[in-house]
Amino acid sequence: MLVQLSKYYGLSPEKVTTLQLKEYLYHCKEKRGLSVSFINQTISALKILRQDVVGLEWDKELRIKRPRLPHHLPDILSKREVNKLIEVTANPKHKAVMAAGGDFQCAAT
């Protein structure tokens, strides 16, 4: 990650400015379509390099919002679909669990 950043600007990573880092992250996300995880790992790697390795102060004004992974709501089965699942299930225990509708609790061991 830092090697790519360094090659992108032809600079050592600790010499990359705040503006350059923001531009690079934008380039990675929008132009190259890299993942949210890659963006967050790049930010973390640069922060560790600057603070812990080089001993530079992390720029508090950097204010880069770390992108979040999108959260998707699960698909909900209709009553008809649930009934079909129960209908085609051969194992009586599995059938009983599905018929209970998830309103059961396991006993603590």
Full domain range(s) for residue 45: 2-62
Same domain, 56 and 84: no
Question: Whole-model pTM?
Answer: 0.52
Domain count, the chain: 2
**What stretch of H or E contains 31?**
none
Structural domain includes residue 67: no
Could you tell me which residue, 29 or 71, shows the higher pLDDT? 29
84 and 104, same domain (yes or no): yes
| pLDDT given for residue 104 in this prediction | 47
Residue type for position 67 = P
Using CA atoms of 29, 33, 38, 44 in order, give the dihedral in degrees to the nearest 10.
Answer: -10
With respect to residue 6, please indicate whether it lies within any of the assigned structural domains: yes
State the Cα–Cα distance between residues 28 and 40, nearest whole angstrom: 11
pLDDT score for 109: 39
More confidently predicted of 24 and 99: 24
Binning pLDDT at 50, 70 and 90, where does residue 70 land?
confident
What is d(CA 8, CA 88) in angstroms, rounded to the nearest whole number? 57
Q: Which of 62, 82, 100 is the last residue of a domain?
A: 62
Q: Which residue stretches of the chain are H helix?
A: 2-9, 18-26, 36-48, 79-88, 92-99
pLDDT at res. 60: 64
Say whether both 50 and 83 belong to one domain.
no
Indicate whether 88 and 38 sit together in one domain: no
